[in-house]
Amino acid sequence: MTKKVWFQVGIGILITLLIVKYVIEIHDIFNPIIIIIKTIFIPLLLGGVLYYISEPLQRFMEKKGAPRWASILTIVLLLAGIVTGILLMIGNPISHQVNNLVKNAPYIGDKIMDTADIVLENKDKLPPQVETFVDSVSNSIQNIAMTGSKYIVTFVSGTVSATFTLILVPFFFIYMLKDHEKFAPNIYKIFSGERRTWVKETLADIDDVLRNYVQGQVLISLILAAMMFIGYIIIGLEYSLLLAIFAFFMNMIPFIGPWISLAPAVVVALIQDPILVVWVGVITLVAQQLESNLITPNIMGKTLDVHPLTVITIVLAAGNIGGFIAIIIAIPTYAVIKAVVKNIYEERKKIKEAATKSV
């Protein structure tokens, strides 16, 4: 009975639950480890994204005979040049738009307050559900105003943390460019025989999944952001560049990202000219349809082979469990787990077939 698959799976689940239970009960012991992991996770994640974006160029250069140090130096200088060029190109427009936003902040605030006053004056005429929602929003605004100093401290702390993260990113990035071939061998050399072969193949599959996802998602996000920027320029929407940059980062989230990027664009359009809200919706809808039916199938293909409903479920669950960062890493994490499980299944299938033939 102990050799039955269902029994082994059950034992595995039971052991996992026991480990989770005891870790939760003695979590204070693991606090230093958790702090270290939190400190290095974001820089490691960003360094990994930069590595997968740069890896094709490094591979191309080294195939042409360039030494490793030359390829790394070229990539670092190229990225620095691209960042500098982008800052020079968009620095003035962004500065101008940010200054306009700051100058118009009182007007925007007055507009929002006028709208809020109208809603509150007519609150009794609203349906009960809407009235409850208005009350909750009003209470939330009051709470934010009362705890303003707390948010300022949090903002300063977050700024310091972000600065530290940005300092660490280049170190992880350059280290990955320099020694990426050593990562997998250092893991699979622990094993021997057929297990080593299986671990080696599984790590290669994980590498392929992550590479294809990162490179594909960045390209898709860039195309979508460009389409939205062009659309916003055509309809004359203010702060179009800032909104397009925000859309680029939000589009990293599959399916849901474009709709998240819609929210600030709708607010800007509503303040500038309510009719623009319709055009912003049309631009987002067109971009989303092109992304779903044309861009993603051609760029990503069947690499991840994840159903859209599964993607939405995973993203929503990840958001509730771990916040924004969890949303970003949810799909690639799912794809990696799927690749590992698939390899385990195929390996067990081979073992069963070999056992059947030997009988």
pTM for the structure as a whole: 0.66
Return the minimum-mean-pLDDT range out of 105-119, 190-204, 327-341.
105-119
Query: What is the C-alpha to C-alpha distance for residues 196 and 202, in angstroms, rounded to an integer?
Result: 10
The yes-or-no verdict on residue 336 having pLDDT over 70 is: yes
Please report, for residues 92, 111, 241, 318, 349, the alpha-carbon distance to residue 324 in angstroms, rounded to integers and kept in the order given: 30, 30, 23, 8, 38
% pLDDT > 70, the chain: 68
Please report, for residues 257, 326, 330, the alpha-carbon distance to residue 320 in angstroms, rounded to integers and kept in the order given: 16, 9, 12
What would the pLDDT profile of 147-179 be if each residue is shown by its tens digit? 555 556 665 666 777 777 778 888 888 888 888
What would the pLDDT profile of 284-305 be if each residue is shown by its tens digit? 888 888 877 777 777 665 566 6
Q: What are phi and psi of 36, to 5 degrees?
A: -65, -45
Query: What is the C-alpha to C-alpha distance for residues 64 and 70, in angstroms, rounded to an integer?
Result: 12
Q: What is the mean pLDDT of residues 72-85?
A: 88
Quick one: pLDDT band at residue 259, thresholds 50, 70, 90? confident
The yes-or-no verdict on residue 352 having pLDDT over 80 is: no
What would the pLDDT profile of 181-226 be if each residue is shown by its tens digit? 888 888 888 888 778 888 888 888 888 888 888 888 888 888 989 9
Under DSSP, the state recorded for 66 is: -
| Per-residue confidence (pLDDT) for residue 130, from 0 to 100 | 56
The yes-or-no verdict on residue 230 having pLDDT over 90 is: yes
Quick one: pLDDT band at residue 145, thresholds 50, 70, 90? low
| Per-residue confidence (pLDDT) for residue 233, from 0 to 100 | 92
Q: Decide: 290 and 297 in contact? Cβ < 8 Å.
A: no
Q: What is the mean pLDDT of residues 27-41?
A: 67
Domain coordinates of the chain in residue numbers?
191-359
| Per-residue confidence (pLDDT) for residue 349, from 0 to 100 | 77
Please report, for residues 26, 37, 157, the alpha-carbon distance to residue 31 in angstroms, rounded to integers and kept in the order given: 10, 10, 19
| Per-residue confidence (pLDDT) for residue 229, from 0 to 100 | 92
- Summary mean pLDDT of the chain: 76
Assigned token pair, 232: 């916003």
Residues in CB range of 44: below 8 A, 6 or more apart: 172
Q: What is the mean pLDDT of residues 11-23?
A: 69
Query: What is the C-alpha to C-alpha distance for residues 51 and 34, in angstroms, rounded to an integer?
Result: 25
The yes-or-no verdict on residue 141 having pLDDT over 60 is: no
The yes-or-no verdict on residue 75 having pLDDT over 70 is: yes
| Per-residue confidence (pLDDT) for residue 286, from 0 to 100 | 87
Q: What is the mean pLDDT of residues 59-74?
A: 90
Closest by CA position to 256, among listed 315, 318, 332: 315
Query: What is the C-alpha to C-alpha distance for residues 94 and 186, in angstroms, rounded to an integer?
Result: 46
Quick one: pLDDT band at residue 323, thresholds 50, 70, 90? confident
Query: What is the C-alpha to C-alpha distance for residues 227 and 221, in angstroms, rounded to an integer?
Result: 10
Q: What is the mean pLDDT of residues 230-256?
A: 85
The yes-or-no verdict on residue 351 having pLDDT over 90 is: no
The yes-or-no verdict on residue 263 having pLDDT over 60 is: yes
